[in-house]
Amino acid sequence: GECANKFCVWSSQRIRAVQTAASLQECSTHIEYWKVLDDIDVGICEGLTYDDFQTRYPKQFAERENDKYHFRYPSGESYEDLVSRLEPVIMELERQSNILVISHQTVLRCILAYFTNKSPDELPYLDVPLHTVIKLTPKAYSCAVEMFKFDVEAVNTYHDKPEKTVC
C-alpha cells in the first residue's frame, strides 16, 4: 500500500503491540521497541480478571477503587510509578514529531493525561478505547485530540470513577 506521510513507530515490547507494529512496517520510517512502553506491572495479579482480583484480594481491590492513581499492585506498579517510568519517553515525545506510539491503555492514559493537562486524580479514568488511534496535535499550552476508531471486535474494560464511600 501507499503511505502519504512516513512516521516513526515506538512500540511496547509486549506481543500484541509488536504484532501491530509489524503490520505498519511499510508506512513507517523505522520501528523502535521500548520496554518502558510495556503495560503497567500488575504483580501477583498478572493473568487475573478484575472479578478474580476482587474475589481473591478484596482488600486490595477496595484500596484500588478508593485511590486508583496511588494504588500499587502487590509486587507491581501504581499509576504513579508508571508516570515516573514514562517520564523519559514523554520528554522525548515533546522533542519529536510524527511518532506513532503503540502501547497499552494504562500507558496511553499517562501520555494522554500529560499532553492534555489532566490531574493525577483524572488520569486513571481517561477513556482510551481499544483499537483507536489518538492523534495529538500540539497547540498553545495543550494538545488537540482526535480519535480514529477501527472496527475491530473487542471487550471494553473502561469504567467510570466510583463515587467516594465514607467508611
**d(C-alpha 41, C-alpha 10), whole Å:** 19
- CATH code, domain carrying 156: 3.40.50.1240
User: Per-residue confidence at 150, pLDDT binned at 50, 70, 90?
Assistant: confident
What is the domain count for the chain?
Answer: 2
- What local confidence, expressed as pLDDT, does residue 140 receive? 84
User: Per-residue confidence at 45, pLDDT binned at 50, 70, 90?
Assistant: very high
Look-up: residue for cell 482488600? 59
Say yes or no: 32 and 51 in one domain: no
Section 54-60 average pLDDT: 97
CB neighbour list of residue 75: distance below 8 Å, 6 or more residues apart:
43, 44
Say yes or no: 87 and 126 in one domain: yes
Of the candidates 164, 153, 131, 157, which has an alpha carbon nearest to the alpha carbon of residue 51? Answer: 157
Section 64-76 average pLDDT: 97
Give the torsion sign (CA, 49, 52, 57, 58). positive
Say yes or no: 141 and 61 in one domain: no
- What local confidence, expressed as pLDDT, does residue 155 receive? 55
Entry pTM: 0.86
User: Per-residue confidence at 166, pLDDT binned at 50, 70, 90?
Assistant: very low
Residue 69 domain boundaries: 42-76
Say yes or no: 66 and 82 in one domain: no
User: Per-residue confidence at 141, pLDDT binned at 50, 70, 90?
Assistant: confident
Q: For the chain, give the mean pLDDT.
A: 90
Section 135-158 average pLDDT: 81
**d(C-alpha 129, C-alpha 69), whole Å:** 19
Say yes or no: 19 and 56 in one domain: no
User: Per-residue confidence at 161, pLDDT binned at 50, 70, 90?
Assistant: confident
Residue type present at position 152: V
Judged by average pLDDT, the poorest of 43-57, 84-98, 138-152 is: 138-152
Say yes or no: 65 and 131 in one domain: no
